[in-house]
Amino acid sequence: MPGVFSREVHVGRLRRVAAEAAAARLTGLLVTPGPDLTWLCGHRPGGAPDRLTLLVLTPEAEPRLLLPARDLADVAAGPVAGAVRLTAWADGQDPYAAAAGLLLPHGHYGISDATWSVHLLGLEEALPLTTYRPLSTALPLFRAVKDEEEKARLAAAAAAADAAYEAVLAVRFSGRRESELAADLAGLLRAHGHDRVDRARVAAGAHGADPDHRPGEHRIEPGDTVVLDLGGRRDGYASALTRTVHVGPPPDRLRRLHEIVRTAREAALAALLPGAPCAEPDRAARAVLADAGHGGDALPATGHGLGLTPYEPPYLAPGGTRLLAPGMCVQVAAGVLLPGRLGVRLGDTVVCTAAGVRRLGGADPALGVVT
């Protein structure tokens, strides 16, 4: 299953996170289905998400997993079998009453950010004196700092995205619809090892000024500037790559604009240092763009973390106070958006280290030229 590691890795994470919860003065952690549960246990419930599955981590007790009875066999065959005490609930039983038996009535727990409100409300009704904090604020570094195996998977995903990008440069752009190129790009991501495609965006001409543009029926013509935003999952871990290409020889003014964006991205990378606030790379990129007269044309944010999901903490955005730490993996992107005209964007996946950034991908950052 994508995102699953060895028993040793998962058990080590369970122990480490329980200790971190104690250091944060939490009674424990409550983890519900999603990337948090996959990261800790290697378990992805197959049933409906309105059926409560709850991992309870406390410093003084072994991990406990409350789950629907139908999922028992899957967990028993998974990487944490024997390391987590299983408690099953059956149809007709109240899962929140069962959960209350695993928690302290006056406890203070961190809980997964993606927990469904119906589950949180059910827990609050069963334990009205228990309090909860979002896991992302209770343990700010939870899943944000990647271990060596995770970084290796992210590097492999980045290399697969690089290969897809290099391959799409040989595809004919002129005369074809954005949607057709997007289908080509998605196919190339899969051909180069992605299990899942999250983004295969092709934004030509004025569409390039919209970071959320969805490829449509617009036909690409010679002289168009095209933004390619691609990524997916390989072996459970995300890739993210953004490049700008031009159909035919680029005019000098576009080359100059692309060089400004590239310089802004390099400034952001140079500012990605341990101990710096997450806003600092964003500030550095914006300063370059402002000096070039494009301060009001920048992307809304300069980057974000990625791992089991394509968007996760930390976020490199204005006002970000969280401190960068070695092992954080992020996509760092800079861009100029000129509504009604075009967009120029450039983004890569990197890891923060004690010595600065290490790039996980190696795709050529130059302005691409396509036919």
The CA-atom distances, in angstroms, between 134 and each of 131, 317, 330, 347 are 11, 20, 21, 29
The candidate with the shortest Cα–Cα distance to 167, out of 245, 222, 237, 111, is 245
pLDDT tens track, the chain, 371 positions: 566 899 999 999 999 999 999 999 999 999 999 999 999 999 988 777 889 999 999 988 899 999 999 999 889 888 998 899 999 999 999 999 999 999 999 999 999 999 999 999 999 999 999 999 999 999 988 999 999 999 999 999 999 999 999 999 999 999 999 999 999 999 999 999 999 999 999 999 999 999 999 999 999 999 999 999 999 999 999 999 999 999 999 999 999 999 999 999 999 999 999 999 999 999 999 999 999 999 999 999 999 999 999 999 999 999 999 999 999 999 999 999 999 999 999 999 999 999 989 999 989 999 999 99
- CATH fold label, 7-138: Creatine Amidinohydrolase; Chain A, domain 1 (3.40.350)
Distant-in-sequence, close-in-space partners of 354: CB < 8 Å, separation ≥ 6? 274, 326
- CATH fold label, 148-370: Creatine Amidinohydrolase (3.90.230)
d(CA 49, CA 38): 14
The candidate with the shortest Cα–Cα distance to 66, out of 44, 86, 90, is 86
Domain ranges of the chain: 7-138, 148-370
Question: What tokens does 69 get?
Answer: 């009875």
Our CA angle for 341, 349, 184, nearest 5°, is 60
Question: What tokens does 104 get?
Answer: 């302290």
Task: Kindly report the pTM of this predicted structure.
Answer: 0.93
